[in-house]
Amino acid sequence: MARIRTRISVTGSNDAEITEGMPYLRQYLRERPWLTESRAEWNPLENQLLVTIQTEGDDPKLESEGVFDEVWDCAFAAFRFSSEQIVFDILEAQTVR
């Protein structure tokens, strides 16, 4: 079975919200063992949270959709978003070696 890397961006938040919720997001991602090598990084210049996760699978599109749902759930559990303009976007879904 192949490894699929999915990168997701989350925009519409601010530094304070991310600082407060980032430890929780990382914890929630770690609690899902099927999401491996998860990384979450805040880019304050772009006001963008980047989440990168690897999973096992053969279909990048299918895997990225599952990862998208998991990241969405974890982010809304971890952060107290003050904006209604939070946008999640799949930036990349590809097989890695």
* Integer CA distances (angstroms), 57 to 8, 13, 19, 63, 86, in order: 17, 31, 32, 7, 28
Q: What is the pLDDT of residue 84?
A: 82
pTM: 0.93
User: Which CATH number do you get for residue 89?
Assistant: 3.30.70.600
Query: Number of structural domains, the chain?
Result: 1
Pairing relationship of beta strands 48-56 and 36-43 according to DSSP bridges: antiparallel
Q: What is the pLDDT of residue 42?
A: 97
Higher pLDDT among residues 28 and 1, named by residue: 28
pLDDT at 62 over 90: yes
Q: pLDDT-derived band of residue 41, with 50, 70 and 90 as boundaries?
A: very high
For residue 11, the enclosing domain spans 3-96
Residue 14 DSSP label: -
Q: Nearest to residue 36, comparing CAs of 52, 21, 60, 58?
A: 52
CA distance 89 to 80: 19
Q: What is the pLDDT of residues 4-15, one digit of tens each?
A: 999 999 999 999
